Amino acid sequence: MIPLIRGFKDILPDETPVWKAIEDTAIAIFQSFGFREIRLPIVEKAELFQRSIGENTDIVEKEMYTFPGSRGEMITLRPEATASVVRAYIQQQLYARDPVQKLYTIGPMFRRERPQKGRYRQFYQISAEVFGIDAPYIDAQLIVLAWTLLERLGVTGLSVQLNSLGCPACRPAFKRALADMLAAGTGGLCADCLRRKDKNPLRVLDCKVPACREVMKDAPSMTDYLCEDCARHFSKVQSSLIRQQIPFVLNPRLVRGLDYYTRTAFEIQTDALGAQNAIAGGGRYDGLVKALDGPEQPAIGFAIGLDRLVELVSQTMPQKPFSPDIFIAAMGEEIQEKAFDWSCALGLAGIKTETDFSGKSLKALMKRADRVGAEHVLIAGSQELEAGVLVLRNMNTKEQVPVPIDGMVNHIKQYLKDYQ
Ligand code: HAM
């Protein structure tokens, strides 16, 4: 047996209904808020991620799956969707028809992180991106949307962590203040942070290592450095969340692991998943469209980690086992062709049907019907075939009714209707 690769996983048939239920709930909410779906390739030029996520981020430095393409260019399995959505917005000129675009996409992402519970090398995200809207109301609305989705799925123990990362006008002063503080003394920082502190000092702020947290506990806060516009914007995001009764916590340490953010940054965390507690994360990236050679358009978005959400939801969502409405138990070789016709007819009529073409004994067939959780068994032996009437057995009540072969699909449809 060749096993799957570490950090990757199979999503088995017993698990897929929860995935599907979450996706359906998300899609319904996206549609109510005016979003449309976009589907994108899972590979892009490496440069797209280097220029958007940032050269000095963990993702670009060490987590991307990158390989040479046939023309020598470097190709990367996407570690997130935002860069690709921005690329499509620019390349397909979605802005030409209307600069305001609200898009969602669902699919796999790839990061070569150290695998652990809740952290995979192929994981799935539901992402939402909005282009062309500056107003803080859209920031708040995206948080309302993500919160609503989690609430509708019955997830509890959530908190929204909120911060503002400022803009190119106000962030440099904050970065300087942070760099000055780090230059004054860095005893106790972890090896990663010692490396980060010069290249990307903001990342030192949200390092989870306790010693780094201790060093950074008196670090300056971006919110103290916001320019007037950013401060007003951030204050409106907060008051809008309060209007919608979304509880949030201001977290000056929240900087997020991707470099494209400006202004609003947020994460939705849970207390139920252990170390990997971020269920969703997002924020504004007002400069990214321009930086990737597009028009000057503001943008904001978020992504929900589907794997982690599935884990949470599976704990509470009732699991309905897959059970066929009808199990055709056809005894003997000679009836199999008939069983084939009936199973096609029932399946085409939209009746969940399972057929055993082994031609085994009734006892063996009933055992299998039981194992697959069939609601009813359609029993067909040579006697029934001769009489032109099959037997339909209700596996719960053990009641048996005759079903004429002539017009069988309609008889069964009617029976199932009456039964429900
Ligand atoms: P992110 O914070 O890197 O943001 O990822 C969003 C979510 O994806 C995380 O909160 C987590 O639930 C899930 N996630 C990330 N890495 C893993 C992993 N290795 N295994 C399992 N789940 C994981 C982004 O990706 C941004 N593109 C979000 C965004 C959209 N910002 C603006 N627009």
Among 286, 313, 340, identify where a domain stops. Answer: 313
What does the alpha-carbon distance between residue 71 and residue 126 come to, in Å, rounded to a whole number?
Answer: 32
Among 313, 336, 361, identify where a domain stops. Answer: 313
Q: Check residue 51 and give its pLDDT.
A: 97
The tokens for 27 are: 């899609």
Ligand 1-lining residues (CB < 6 angstroms)? 80-82, 111, 113, 119-120, 123, 125, 127, 129, 257-258, 278-283, 301-303, 305, 307-308
Q: Is 86 or 359 the better-scoring residue by pLDDT?
A: 86
Nearest-CA residue for ligand 1 atom 18 is: 119
In a domain, 232, yes or no: yes
| pLDDT tens-digit series, residues 368-397 | 999 999 999 999 999 999 999 999 999 999
Question: Could you tell me where the beta strands, DSSP code E, fall in 166-325?
Answer: 248-250, 262-270, 278-284, 299-305
Nearest-CA residue for ligand 1 atom 23 is: 305
β partners of residue 124: 108
In a domain, 192, yes or no: no
In a domain, 186, yes or no: no
Nearest-CA residue for ligand 1 atom 20 is: 119
Are β-strands 43-45 and 74-77 bridged in parallel, bridged antiparallel, or unpaired? Answer: antiparallel
Give the confidence band of 89 by pLDDT, cuts at 50, 70, 90: very high
Q: Which domain holds residue 268?
A: 16-170+226-313
Give the confidence band of 200 by pLDDT, cuts at 50, 70, 90: confident
Backbone angles phi, psi at 200, to 5 degrees: -150, 70
What does the alpha-carbon distance between residue 5 and residue 126 come to, in Å, rounded to a whole number?
Answer: 24
What does the alpha-carbon distance between residue 196 and residue 198 come to, in Å, rounded to a whole number?
Answer: 6
Q: Are residues 389 and 268 in the same domain?
A: no
Among 264, 287, 313, identify where a domain stops. Answer: 313
Nearest-CA residue for ligand 1 atom 11 is: 305
Question: Could you tell me where the beta strands, DSSP code E, fall in 233-352?
Answer: 248-250, 262-270, 278-284, 299-305, 326-330
CA neighbours closer than 13 Å in the CB half-sphere of residue 355: 19
Helical (H) or strand (E) element with 163? strand 158-164
Entry pTM = 0.93
Q: How many domains does the chain have?
A: 2
Q: Check residue 181 and give its pLDDT.
A: 87
Can you tell me which atom of ligand 1 is nearest the CA of 120? 20
Q: Is 198 or 260 the better-scoring residue by pLDDT?
A: 260
What does the alpha-carbon distance between residue 69 and residue 231 come to, in Å, rounded to a whole number?
Answer: 45
| pLDDT tens-digit series, residues 28-60 | 999 999 999 999 999 999 999 999 999 989 999
Q: Are residues 27 and 112 in the same domain?
A: yes
